[in-house]
Homo-oligomer: A and B are copies of this chain.
Amino acid sequence: MWQGVIPAVTSKFNEDDSLDFAEMRRCFALQIDAGVDGLIACGSLGEGPMLSHEERIGVLRTCIEVAGARPSLLTVAEASTRDACALAEKAARAGAAGLMVVPSTIYHSDHRETVAALRAIAAAGDLPIMIYSNRLAYRVDVTVEMMEELADDPRFVAVKESSDDIRRSTEIINRLGRRYDLFTGVDNLAFEALAVGAIGWVAGLCLAFPHETVAIYRLVKLGRHAEALSIYRWFRPLLDLDVSTYLVQNIKLAEALAIHSNERVRAPRMPLAGERRARAEQTILQAMATRPELPRLV
């Protein structure tokens, strides 16, 4: 159902901490213009848990407005299943093409509870779902066994594989073939994931470097591995910024430097400071100074 590069967009704020829809429109459009295949609103990168439901629907509507025919998904990642279901319903009413769903964010649900939560959210939203399996960030693993169990509901169409273990991608394919659209959710494992058969990339640094991200994806799909690998190697120090506790601040700094956006975040987050900021900035500027020439691909 879905494939390709789908960035998880950052939410943009005005100085008074309210949402800056104009800046979101501008930034999202840069993504679409570079050839991405959809947009995901209010994920970890989008500071979803810091936004009210109403605000999240606002970000989603902005995605839909900009992405047009390409799919716009809303992230559902709530502590309680009742809140998750309520948000899923609102997303459906707002016209989301699908949901990216974290089964539980605070409580570490077990197998039975994880499956039940996912089924309840699917029923509430009645939209196609990308299962977001991220045992590191949320400590709830959606295992291959659970994916197998959930396969009886056609609303579960895709998996965002963020276990941080590249082996998992092959395990999913070995067990389930092409039942799910397999996306990688880890920027600095993306080439490896595509090499073993993933068909999509929920991307982070793409927000600041969309052309490079799209180029890697397309080159791999064209079988031009060496060219893709060469860009990927240049990209790696940047991609590492996505696999960090500070991914939001890192990527907003990259957006500030590379696409002239800003670094505003919601508390408890603060913009990077000190040594950590200096290192991130150096990584970004160094990469910008050595940008590879990209092949024409369309």
Contacts and interface: CB of A to CB of B under 8 A. Distances in A.
Contact of A195 (B105, B192, B240, B266): B192
Interface string A96-127: 00000001111111101110110010000000
A79 interface: yes
Contacts of A225: 195, 223, 225
B166 A267 contact: no
Contact of A229 (B113, B197, B237, B245): B197
Contacts of A229: 195-197
A50 interface: yes
Interface string A213-247: 00000000001010001001100110010000110
Interface stretch (A21-29, A32-40, A168-176, A251-259): A168-176
A113 B270 contact: yes
For the complex, would chain A's binding face be called helix, strand, loop or mixed by DSSP majority? helix
Contacts of A113: 267-270
A174 B81 contact: no
A106 B136 CA distance: 12
A9 to B, nearest CB: 18
Contacts of A245: 107-108, 110
A103 B268 contact: yes
A188 interface: yes
A232 B232 CA distance: 23
A196 B189 contact: no
Contact of A109 (B117, B173, B236, B269): B269
Residue of A116, A117, A120, A167 with most chain B CB atoms under a 10 A cut-off: A167
A109 B272 CA distance: 12
A189 B174 contact: no
Contacts of A107: 49, 245, 268-269
A167 B188 contact: yes
A192 to B, nearest CB: 5
B166 A189 contact: yes
Nearest to A140: B268
Contacts of A174: 233, 236-237
A236 B106 CA distance: 26
13 contacts: A49-B80, A103-B268, A114-B268, A117-B268, A166-B189, A167-B188, A170-B233, A170-B236, A173-B233, A174-B233, A192-B192, A195-B196, A195-B225
Interface of A: 17, 49-50, 79-82, 103-110, 112-114, 116-117, 120, 166-167, 170-171, 173-174, 188-189, 191-192, 195-197, 223, 225, 229, 232-233, 236-237, 240, 245-246, 266-270, 273
